[in-house]
Structure 1
């Protein structure tokens, strides 16, 4: 009598492991939305010249900076958690997603440093006798501009690349309903076009950028909710477990 044996599923593709992975990724994705109020919170730093001279409160800015650090770490966390799954679909896309997330996180923290530097100047320099107010205002404008550009390159530009890499993985594997990654794959070129127009001065960041970013925001939020509540689709998990690792 001949016994047919089937090779074991690759490590990390069992239903329990995949559910823990999807839950962790979903929660981290939802955490990346905690900084939504940041633009309003940072408005005094970005638009009020007198902020660096002592006008206004520090507490809101500190909480905004803290929330952006959380976003940076949570974003990197999504890539780290999903990498073992994504690489079974496409190693290139998986590495691209990790790289884009790490770069996004680094740029976000760079922007936070510029905002915290404004607080340091207003608390340690602005109130001292003989402080040069004109120089402080120039420094404040410079640091505010640094934040504006790092925001454009991090939380506006990088999500488009994230959507292209992870959207490809999720669409190809069917781990989530394909309508979700399709939103990201459609929204990515729209956001890239809008960011490029801002970069070259075609229009201001307060213009159509919000509409261009909407499909990516819906994609990321819906992915976070789906992974947290339902997890990866069982049929896709089974297919992934039986498939050979891509080269």
Structure 2
């Protein structure tokens, strides 16, 4: 008598590992939170270039931003094979947005490292305000405006697919226009990017990214969302 072994679950474990990796990458992006304090000496760029403040703290801040840039790309690369099943255009948009974000973050790091490299040169002190303004504009585009497009692209896919509880992408979809409005206000000089209102309007996006990271690490994707792909070609018994 010949028996047929039941099919092995070839997708469940890799999918769980992929969700875990994406969640870890999302949580790693929050390593940049201390940079506001670490970059404190850059608050007076001319004085910093003349040797005031800790250059070591600034270097640690720059390193944390490099880690964030790598984690940004990591989230896009890990999630793409899953999200493309539920909306390839939005999934590609998320990859593109994350890549642009990471590139601009590294451009900001290059500005910071330039300031560190010019320390002690009296002739370079006049460049301090220029370099500081350049970093502020790059930060606005990279770590404030790019998350708007990240939330719109990934949030749309996750909301429609049900890969995670819909309250999570809903936070991102609600927070995206709020953060965009704040970025426009900062761009036109209505308030500074470090103003309390700017932080308040960025909270929904921060909650969306933190909540998504925690959920993916703890729970993974909802299995039923991938059932059509996993059962393709299988005929259900009548």
| TM-score, structure 1 as length reference | 0.87
Bigger relative contact order (CA 8 A; separation at least 6): 1
Counting only pairs closer than 5 Å after superposition, residues 38-117 of structure 1 correspond to structure 2 as 38-117=35-114
Unpaired runs of 5+ residues, structure 1, are: 1-7
Deviation, 1:43, is: 2.0
Q: Secondary structure of 1:157's match?
A: helix
1:156, 1:195 within 8 Å by CA — same for their partners in 2? Answer: yes
Secondary structure of the residue that 2:31 maps to in structure 1? coil
What does residue range 82-161 of structure 1 map to in structure 2 within 5 Å?
A: 82-123=79-120, 126=121, 131-132=122-123, 136-161=124-149
Quick one: which of 224, 227, 235 aligns to 1:235?
Answer: 224
Alignment gaps of 5+ in structure 2:
1-6, 234-238
Written as runs of structure 1 = structure 2, the 5 A alignment for 1:156-235 is 156-207=144-195, 208-235=197-224
Aligned length: 226
Taking the aligned partners of 1:112 and 1:34, their CA distance within structure 2 comes to 15
- Return the alpha-carbon distance in structure 2 between the equivalents of residues 137 and 159 of structure 1: 33
Compare the two structures and name the one with the higher helix fraction. Answer: 2
Contact 2:86 2:161 in 1 (8 A): yes
Report whether the alignment pairs 1:21 with 2:18: yes
Name which of structure 1's ranges 152-161 and 13-22 shifts more when overlaid on structure 2.
13-22
Aligned to 2:3: none
Whether contact under 8 Å (2:73, 2:98) holds in the other structure is: yes
Partner Cα separation in structure 2 for residue 231 and residue 240 of structure 1: 17
Instruction: Name the TM-score, length of structure 2 as normaliser.
Output: 0.90
Tell me if the contact between 1:15 and 1:237 (Cα under 8 Å) persists in the aligned partners: no
For the aligned residue pairs, the C-alpha RMSD in angstroms reads 1.9
The residue that corresponds to 2:27 in the other structure is 30
Q: Partners of 2:232 and 2:145 in 1: how far apart?
A: 33
Give the match's secondary structure for 2:193: coil
For 1:164 and 1:67, locate their aligned partners in 2 and report how far apart those are by CA, in whole Å.
26
CA deviations 1:162-181 (Å, max 9, x no partner) are: 00000011111101100000
- Aligned-partner Cα distance in 2 for 1:27–1:112: 23
